[in-house]
Amino acid sequence: MTMVEISGVKKRYEGGFEALRGVDLMIKEGEILALLGPNGAGKTTLISAVCGITLPTEGTIRVGGHDVVTDYRAARDLIGLVPQEINLEPFEKVINTVRFTRGLFGKARNDALIEDVLRKLSLWDKRDSAVKELSGGMKRRVLIAKALAHEPRVLFLDEPTAGVDVELRRDMWEVVAELKRQGVTIILTTHYIEEAEAIADRVGVINRGQILLVEEKDALMARLGQKELRIDLSDPLDAVPPSLEEFDLTLTEDRQRLVYTYHSGAERTGIGRLMAAVASAGLKVRDVSTAQNSLEDIFVGLVAEQEEEDAA
């Protein structure tokens, strides 16, 4: 089932800046989608449009089948939001601000649930502290606790680990994993590629208000797992020797480099046999190097492509 359905969403601000330029995105129930993009790509604007903080200029958004504008109560009932900025009332006690959110979402008081949420985020001992007394990392935990206090079915985490210590990152990933087991749909924005790799089911890339790619993480990782072995030769070759045919090598234009593509995760990479075959073919090797395709490369490639298109 589709949990979040975004179609043709545009956001134009007064003054003409277009933060979203026609976004289409389907998010399945229970999946974790990581939305990757540089600063200013439109990640936060997109989340704000889904959560009701920003009104889209065009297009429709449905959450759990409910339109976020016309049927906002039913839609927002399902949504929990952890904002990027630490927006908290400084003088209030931790437990009160978490209870407040639950009440705001129309849920009956449930002390056991609040305790559970606070314990999971290591906030229980701090429950009676004023928010201003907490460290930055602790404040971020409070934001997460608030979002979870009303038992959302869809959770938006906007750059949750930006400037966060290792411990919180680990705690948060654990919480995310448990929410996933409970069937909660999670959308997280980040510009850390490792984060997307660690927890996402699917990865979306957004830049300049457009979604450039949405792909299963495993498929993406398979593409990423490809490595190249580059063999630089002392003397140029006219063609790849017949004895090396089985390796499917490519000869570069300067005819001095052989390139072998293999999968780094494979049991047998074939590198040993290749090197032996190269030696027995009598080729003089000057240098050997390897290179890996990273999400970063794909990302940079996509962004460059988009910029060329925009320029055209």
Partner 1 sequence: MNWRAVAAIYRFEMTRFFRTLFQSFISPVISTSLYFVVFGAAIGSRIDTVEGVDYGAFIVPGLIMLSVMTQSLSNGAFGIYFPKFVGTIYELLSAPVNFLEIVMGYVGAAATKALFIGVVILGTASLFVDLTIQHPLAMLLFLVLTCLSFALFGFIIGIWAKNFEQLQLVPLLVVTPLVFLGGSFYSVSMLPPVWQTITMFNPVLYLISGFRWAFFGMADVPVGVSLLAIAGFFCLCLGIIWWIFRTGWRIRS
Q: Return residues touching partner 1 (CB under 8 A).
A: 13, 48, 51-55, 72-74, 76-77, 79, 81, 83, 85-92, 96, 99-108, 146
Residue 274 CB, nearest approach to partner 1 (Å): 57
Residue 109 CB, nearest approach to partner 1 (Å): 9
196 sits in the region (left: phi over 0; alpha: psi -120 to 50; else beta) called alpha
The radius of gyration computed from the CA coordinates of the chain, to the nearest angstrom, equals 25
Shorter beta-carbon distance to partner 1: residue 96 or 280: 96
How does DSSP assign 239-262, residue by residue?
Answer: S--GGGGGG--EE-TTSSEEEEEE
Distance of alpha carbon 151 from alpha carbon 155, whole angstroms: 9
Residue 47 CB, nearest approach to partner 1 (Å): 10
Contact 185, 155 (CB under 8 A): yes
Shorter beta-carbon distance to partner 1: residue 117 or 258: 117
Residue 292: both structure tokens together: 């890996």
Distance of alpha carbon 237 from alpha carbon 247, whole angstroms: 16
Shorter beta-carbon distance to partner 1: residue 132 or 170: 132
Helix (H) and strand (E) counts in the chain: 10, 14
**Among 177, 174, 112, 110, residue whose Cα is nearest residue 141:** 174
Shorter beta-carbon distance to partner 1: residue 158 or 195: 158
Distances (CA, A) of 232 to 28, 162, 241: 47, 41, 15
Shorter beta-carbon distance to partner 1: residue 89 or 133: 89
Residue 264 CB, nearest approach to partner 1 (Å): 43
Residue 156 CB, nearest approach to partner 1 (Å): 9
Shorter beta-carbon distance to partner 1: residue 26 or 53: 53
Shorter beta-carbon distance to partner 1: residue 77 or 228: 77
Residue 57 CB, nearest approach to partner 1 (Å): 11
Distance of alpha carbon 142 from alpha carbon 297, whole angstroms: 35
Query: Token match 């790619």: residue?
Result: 213
CA 104 to chain centre: 29
Please list, in sequence order, all residues whose beta carbon lies within 8 angstroms of the beta carbon of residue 237, skipping any fewer than 6 positions away: 251, 255, 256, 258, 283
Residue 163: both structure tokens together: 């400037």
Shorter beta-carbon distance to partner 1: residue 92 or 151: 92
* Residue 291: strand, helix, or coil: strand
Residue 225: both structure tokens together: 């797992």
